[in-house]
Each structure stands twice: as C-alpha cells, then as structure tokens.
Structure 1
Amino acid sequence: MKNILLSLLFTTLFISIYSQEKQSNLSIGGYGQIDFSHPKNEVANIDVHRMVLFVGYQFNDKVSFESEIEFEHVKELEVEQAFLNYKLGSNITAKAGLMLVPMGLINQTHEPTTFFTVERPDQDHDIIPSTWTQIGIGLSGTIDKLAVKYQAYIFDGIKSYQNGTSFLRGIDGLRKGRQNGAEAFSSQANFSTKINYFGIKGLNLGLAGYFGNTQTTDIAIKGSYIGISMIGIDATYQKNDWIFRTQYVLNNLSNTDAYNTLTGRDIGSKMEGFYIETAYNILKLLNKDASEKLLIFSRYETYDTHANVAGLLIKNKAYDRTITSLGFNYFMAPGAVFKTEYQIRENKVIGFDVANQFNMGIGISF
C-alpha cells in the first residue's frame, strides 16, 4: 500500500508540474530505463531499473533549486539530488545540498541515453559507487579564456562503521557505504574536485580527485574508518559520426588492515579500473539526412577491487575482472533509445567460468 501511495503521489506531482511548467519558473525533466539481462545458462532478469523525475525552480536571476526523485526497481524511492544554486558571478556558482560527486564520466551524467551499454560500466558500480551523492557545499564555474570548467566541494562522506556494523567489502569497495543523504552522519569532512578542459573542438578531458576519510560513529576506534584517495581521468572525443571515450580510476585506501581486523571484512588497499570504448553511427552510411541514429559500439573494460591488499589479507583473483561488450544503440528520437549487447565476462581465477551475458533494454531522457 505504501508503494502504491508513493507511486500515485509521484504521478500526481509529475502531472501537476507539467501543467504549470510553461507558465512559471518551474522546469521538469526525467529519465528512465528498463533492462533485460540473460547470463548464459541462467535465468533471465527483467527490471524497471529506474524512473527519475527532475524538478527545478528559478527563484530569481541568482537563485535556483534543482532536485531529482528516483524510483528504483519499482518499489524503492530515493531523493537523488536536492540543492540550491547561488550565482556569485557570470561564471561562478555556489552550491549547497545533496549533490552528485564529480568523478569519472558517468556519475554526474548517467541518463541511459548517454552511455552505450544497457547497464553502466561495472567500474562505475564497484569502484566509483554510482550513483554517488553526498551532502555538501562548494563552487562550480568556468574560466572561458582557459576553456576550463571547475568544481570543488566539501562533502560528508562514505560510511564505514556505525554502532558495530561495518559496510565496506572487497567485492564492491565503497558501494555499501553510500549514505545518499538519508539520515547521514559525519565524523570527518571530505574534499572533492574536478577540472574539465574543452579547448579543442570535439574533445573533453576530465581530471577528478576525492580525498578524506570514511565516516564512523566510533571515531576513537582506529579500525573503524578508512582513508580515501581517489583519482579519476576521463576523455571524450566526438567527430562526425564517431564517438571515443576512455576512463581510468585509481582508489588508494589506507588503514584497511585495521578495518579488516576489526570487522572481518576483506576490503583491498588499492582499487583500479580502466575502459575504452568507441561507437559509430552506421545509419549515416545509408541516409545522410536521417534524424535517427544506429550506433554500433564496443567497449573493453578491466578493473580490480583487490589491486593491492594490506596485512595478511590474500588477494581474491575473482575481483580482477574484464568485460568486453559489443552491441548497438538505436535512437528512434534524440531522447529515446533501444539497446542490445553481448558481454564476454572473465576474471583471473583459473578454471572459474564467469557467465557471458546478453542484455537489451530501453532508455529515455527528456
């Protein structure tokens, strides 16, 4: 009953906002995806993965509000973003609230029409815990003469230990420690920054950093927190009907030996990931004036959440993973896509057979 009421509220809110949007300072948007995944020799999974409503309001020339409300797997409701913007100048804005951490290609731009595979890249799940939101305050802006966009924030952080319960583990790193602004607690502040360079036509280069410690309710217990030093490098190049993208992320973690000893967990002291992908719109070969797109794409991705370990912990080779994806995206309209791909999945465990996977799905954004 609770989920039904929430769904009705969500729909009513959407209709109400849509009816007012053209007559006020309100703005709306949204995105969603429905997935079908079939690992070889296993039962297929079908999921209304997420439906998201964006609501914004422009109070005046300087002050605006942005928010996103998300349903995941039909029944889980979350506030993904909720923050105020205050324009300090023509090229600088102060922000405060629940925001997306600027790291990698996906976390801040993750509508399903912006990435090729049905699901986001795996390293943007297990190393960068996308969707990664935190409560904080900071600045963003551009330096036009240098063709640079910058962001810098102070955030609360990932939780590692709460009243005797631990959250971080080797298989997916920081993911289970996301607080997402829900009754979050903060024992130490974290610093996050990203710089993008866009001075060459068609090219966008990004360099991001995230530094600090995880959050604990027992700061006196040394093993209850972990130090984080994460660096991400990304690049996108687009020319004519070609798209090239690549990303590298390195996460060095300190105090993991003490944390694993205290909690019995197996989190690594170093996580590392890389992918490169390309896509080409083959529809232009048949019709140069086509408004639709048919992108053939491929991606090679490798990442390891046990790239290094501390103390007596032994590396788990199953956490050293490689995924090769090949598929296509059919854009029937700029904000509507049908996707399908085949993935070859491997890890470094000798004799261990990881199931390859066929995926397809639809994605929308507006």
Structure 2
Amino acid sequence: MDFRKILTVFLSVFVLLAARPGFAADVNELERRLDIVSEELDKMKNSSGGSGIAHRTSVHGYGEIHWIDDPDGDYTVDQHRFVIGVHSEITDWIHLNAEIDFEHAAQELEFEFGHLDFLVSNALNFRAGTMLMPMGNLNEFHEPNNF
C-alpha cells in the first residue's frame, strides 16, 4: 500500500470520528432545551392561569320585560323574569348546571333547576338533582312555544 492511500484512509476515519462529538453536542443541546420546555409546560398546567375551576365555569343569564300600554295613556313595566345560571366543569366527568329565576322584579324567587351530570362514558351517564319536566305548553328549554 502506498503512503497516499494510508493517509487518505486515516484522514477519512479521523474526519468521521471528529464529526461525531459535534453531532452528540447538538443532540445534548436539543435534549436540554426539551427539558426546559417540558418544565415550563408543567408549570403552566399547575398554575391557576388556565386549569383552575374558575376557567371551567361560566355564568349566563337572560331576562324578559313586558311593557303594557293602557288605552288611557298609562303604561306599566313588568320585569317578568331575570334568570341567572351557572355551568361548571367541576372535573372532566362531573358537570354542574343550575339556574335561579327572579320573577316580577324579584317579588318571586324560584330555583329553576340544578343538577350534576356524571359523564361515566359515551354510553353511560347519570344526572342527579332538580330537573325540569317538560310537559304541556312548555318545551325542554322551559319557554312557552308560542313566543
């Protein structure tokens, strides 16, 4: 074997072996960065910024006001109803729904409904609490059909 071939083989092996630690350093740097990002993600999950019950709870409401005109020119305003409701995902599988109904300017207060839904699986769920029974002129959303 001549000297050039030996030198070429030697230099080729040297270049290949020398390049390997650089690749390993890049992998180590990527692993370090991945660990940092994972730690930051865990901190975000555990903070109150996005996973607390307040972020899984919504409050809603609606109202109805009647304006009644008399032929004499008098008028009457009746705050027929004002409803405040809450929906909360207490856990991934337990949900709370409730509504309180203030009727006729809070002269009458009614607990409209309140129940817990236990979402066991796609095929099996349980509901416990005070539920509306849609009957007669009332539909599932407890509003008269003739509105």
TM-score (norm 1): 0.23
Which of 63, 84, 109 matches 2:116? Answer: 84
Distance 1:69 1:107, change over 3 A: same
Show the counterpart of 1:31.
62
- Give CA deviations for 1:1-42 in whole Å, capped at 9, x if unaligned: xxxxxxxxxxxxxxxxxxxx995211221111001235778x
Name the residue aligned to 1:213.
Answer: none
Partner of 2:97: 66
Aligned-CA RMSD value:
3.1
CA deviations 1:107-133 (Å, max 9, x no partner) are 42146xx8563xxxxxxxxxxxxxxxx
Distance 2:66 2:89 in 1: 34
For residue 103 of structure 1, report the CA deviation from its aligned partner: 2.6
Deviations 1:17-74 (A, max 9, x none): xxxx995211221111001235778x75420011101112112121111110111111
Q: Which has the higher helix share?
A: 2
Determine the C-alpha separation between the residues in 2 that align with 1:66 and 1:77: 18
Aligned to 1:49: 80
The DSSP-based 3-state class of the residue aligned with 1:89 is coil
Query: Runs (4+) of structure 1 moved beyond 4 Å?
Result: 38-41
The share of aligned pairs that are identical, in percent, is 33
Match of 2:135 in 1: 103
Higher relative contact order (CA 8 A, sep 6+): 1
Give the letter for the 2:93 counterpart.
Answer: K
SS at the partner of 1:74?
coil
User: Do the aligned partners of 1:31 and 1:51 also contact (CA within 8 Å) in 2?
Assistant: yes
Query: Deviation of residue 102 (structure 1)?
Result: 2.8
Matched residue type, 1:29: H
| 1:89 CA displacement | 2.1
Q: Which protein is bigger by CA-based radius of gyration? A: 2
Aligned residues: 94
> Quick check: 2:53–2:89 contact (8 Å CA) kept in 1?
no
SS of the residue 2:55 aligns to: coil
Residue ranges of structure 1 left out of the alignment (5+ in a row): 1-20, 118-366
| 1:204-251, Cα deviation, whole Å (9 max, x unpaired) | xxxxxxxxxxxxxxxxxxxxxxxxxxxxxxxxxxxxxxxxxxxxxxxx
Partner SS for 2:120: strand
For normalisation by structure 2, the TM-score amounts to 0.51
Between the aligned partners of 1:103 and 1:60, the Cα distance in structure 2 is: 32
> C-alpha deviations, 1:140-197, integer Å up to 9, x for none?
xxxxxxxxxxxxxxxxxxxxxxxxxxxxxxxxxxxxxxxxxxxxxxxxxxxxxxxxxx
- Equivalent runs, 1:1-366 vs 2, <5 Å: 23-38=54-69, 45-75=76-106, 76-103=108-135, 106-110=138-142, 117=147
Secondary structure (helix, strand or coil) at the match of 1:30 reads strand
Q: Classify the secondary structure of the residue corresponding to 2:140.
A: coil
Whether the aligned pair in 2 keeps the contact of 1:100 and 1:107 (CA below 8 Å) is no
Unmatched 5+ residue regions in structure 2?
1-51
